[in-house]
């Protein structure tokens, strides 16, 4: 292809390229070294810089491919970068190479529907029923055992529990508001349970004003109104907390064999049964993490891993809460870890076939994308391939 690149770009400028020529260029782009791409960028990229200002109607596939091929050299041999960044203007502001213009030229001058995409065709064929991303879905279990399916119930007040009004909003939030002390029992607390299925998430505002974001396949048990001297909740799965400050009532999260105690802070807790230990990531304030006979204080920017003992390390804690902001974030993760996240969000099962390369992935993909798009971007690394049969995903080398 390299010897035909001048001819390809000449046709590209006049929108005369064929699907076969575009496929050949895409194949070259996937296999070319960063140095080869850089040479082409220097020679031809400047002719297409004016395209950066044009409206963008396609997706980010080719932009991602260009970026991966350039950035791959900066990663170790055992790391692969993936990315899907939107909106497009953000990508352009971050780009410092004419490679961005090159990618825009190839994509903008070639109608999206004409671009062969073997991955999409294969996945679309295998999936007659689309696998949709998760959303605001949860079940509330009241003290009396009554189950309320929140994504199917009307908005507004849905219950009164121990002198507390329970309201549901139309944007996936459950809020507890005190009605005064009359009729409130602190001797026998009224406990509620909020649980999300696979493919679900929900937001919760507790009676003290603490905000909780509950991730997929998770649950939190809590009193409708906290006792005068303590605030204790029980968690399974993953949640992000913004704890309301109250120096007279510590806030404690119990999960597996770990206790996390705070006065007022922002932190994320992840302790799924299929993950190793409990990860507590602190963004603001201070937290005491206890497990077994060990207790450790952690400060912002640190993460504690606990499972009968506690290990503390520095971490990019913002990556730990990307799920709350609507993104998958893969920070040097193995494919098995990534597929567990994908399985919980899309409610699918995963199996493996053959020996998968022992590499780590780095990247961010919106959780709002279809599962086909997510798998496409993982496949672009060249490390893994996928087959969809119903709601079962097979991971292959």
**Is 249 in the same domain as 140?**
yes
**Is 172 in the same domain as 107?**
no
**Average of per-residue pLDDT across 83-105:** 35
Report the share of the chain in percent with pLDDT over 70: 69
**Is 385 in the same domain as 352?**
yes
Going by pLDDT thresholds of 50, 70 and 90, the confidence category of residue 247 is confident
**Is 110 in the same domain as 163?**
no
Rounded to whole angstroms, the Cα distance separating 157 from 164 reads 11
The CATH number covering residue 314 comes to 2.60.120.1440
Q: Would 129 be classed as within a structural domain?
A: no
Q: Would 153 be classed as within a structural domain?
A: yes
Structural domain including 391 reads 327-396
Rounded to whole angstroms, the Cα distance separating 4 from 27 reads 13
274-307 pLDDT, tens digit per residue, is 999 999 999 999 999 999 889 999 999 999 999 8
Q: Tell me how many domains the chain contains.
A: 3
104-137 pLDDT, tens digit per residue, is 344 333 433 333 344 445 445 444 578 899 999 9
Q: Which residue has the higher pLDDT, 328 or 377?
A: 328
**Is 111 in the same domain as 86?**
yes
Among 96-100, 101-105, 129-133, 266-270, which stretch is predicted with the lowest mean pLDDT? 96-100
**Is 158 in the same domain as 107?**
no
**Is 269 in the same domain as 150?**
yes
**Is 21 in the same domain as 86?**
yes
Residue 35, pLDDT > 70, answer no
9-28 pLDDT, tens digit per residue, is 677 666 676 767 766 776 67
Q: What is the pLDDT of residue 208?
A: 94
Q: Which residue has the higher pLDDT, 100 or 183?
A: 183
Mean pLDDT rounded to a whole number for the chain: 78
Residue 339, pLDDT > 70, answer yes
Rounded to whole angstroms, the Cα distance separating 239 from 222 reads 13
173-189 pLDDT, tens digit per residue, is 999 998 765 555 556 78
HSE, CB side, 13 Å, CA atoms: give it for residue 161: 28
Angle between helices 61-71 and 371-379 (to 10 degrees): 30
Cα angle: 90, vertex 96, 102; to 5 degrees: 85
Q: What is the pLDDT of residue 66?
A: 47
Burial of 149 from C-beta contacts in 10 A (0-12 / 13-18 / 19+): exposed
**Is 11 in the same domain as 106?**
yes
Rounded to whole angstroms, the Cα distance separating 40 from 354 reads 37
The CATH number covering residue 363 comes to 3.55.50.30
Q: What distances in angstroms separate CA 355 from CA 331, 335, 358, 382, 396, one per listed residue?
A: 22, 12, 9, 14, 7
Q: What is the pLDDT of residue 51?
A: 39
């Amino acid at each position: 292809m390299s010897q035909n690149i001048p001819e390809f770009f000449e046709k590209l400028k006049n929108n005369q390229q064929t699907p076969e020529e575009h496929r050949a260029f895409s194949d070259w782009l996937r296999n070319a070294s960063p140095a080869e791409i850089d040479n082409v960028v220097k020679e031809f990229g400047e002719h297409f810089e004016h395209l950066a200002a044009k409206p963008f109607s396609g997706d980010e596939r080719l932009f991602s491919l260009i970026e991966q091929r350039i950035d791959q050299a900066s990663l170790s041999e055992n790391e692969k970068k993936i990315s899907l960044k939107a909106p497009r203007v953000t990508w352009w502001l971050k780009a410092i190479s004419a490679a961005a213009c090159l990618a825009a030229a190839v994509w903008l001058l070639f109608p999206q529907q004409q671009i062969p995409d073997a991955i999409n065709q294969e996945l679309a064929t295998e999936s007659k029923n689309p696998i949709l991303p998760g959303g605001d879905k949860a079940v509330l279990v009241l003290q009396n055992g009554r189950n309320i399916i929140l994504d199917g119930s009307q908005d507004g007040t849905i219950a009164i529990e121990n002198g507390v009004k329970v309201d549901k909003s139309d944007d996936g939030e459950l809020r507890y508001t005190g009605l005064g002390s009359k009729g409130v029992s602190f001797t026998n607390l009224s406990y509620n349970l909020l649980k999300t299925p696979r493919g679900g998430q929900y937001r919760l505002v507790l009676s003290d004003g603490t905000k909780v974001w509950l991730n997929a396949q998770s649950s939190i048990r809590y009193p409708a109104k906290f006792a005068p001297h303590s605030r204790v909740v029980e968690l399974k799965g993953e949640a992000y907390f913004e704890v309301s400050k109250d120096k007279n009532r510590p806030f404690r999260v119990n999960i597996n064999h770990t206790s996390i105690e705070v006065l007022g802070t922002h932190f994320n807790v992840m302790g799924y049964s299929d993950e190793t230990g409990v990860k507590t990531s602190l963004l603001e304030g201070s937290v005491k993490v206890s497990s077994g006979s060990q207790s450790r204080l952690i400060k912002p920017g640190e993460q504690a891993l606990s499972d009968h003992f506690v290990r503390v390390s520095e971490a990019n804690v913002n990556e730990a809460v990307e799920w709350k902001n609507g993104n998958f974030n893969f920070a040097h993760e193995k494919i098995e870890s990534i597929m567990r996240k994908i399985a919980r969000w899309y409610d699918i099962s995963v199996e493996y076939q053959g020996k998968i390369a022992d590499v780590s992935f780095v990247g961010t993909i919106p959780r709002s994308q279809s599962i086909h798009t997510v798998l496409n971007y993982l496949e672009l690394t060249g490390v893994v391939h996928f087959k969809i049969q119903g709601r079962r995903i097979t991971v292959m080398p």
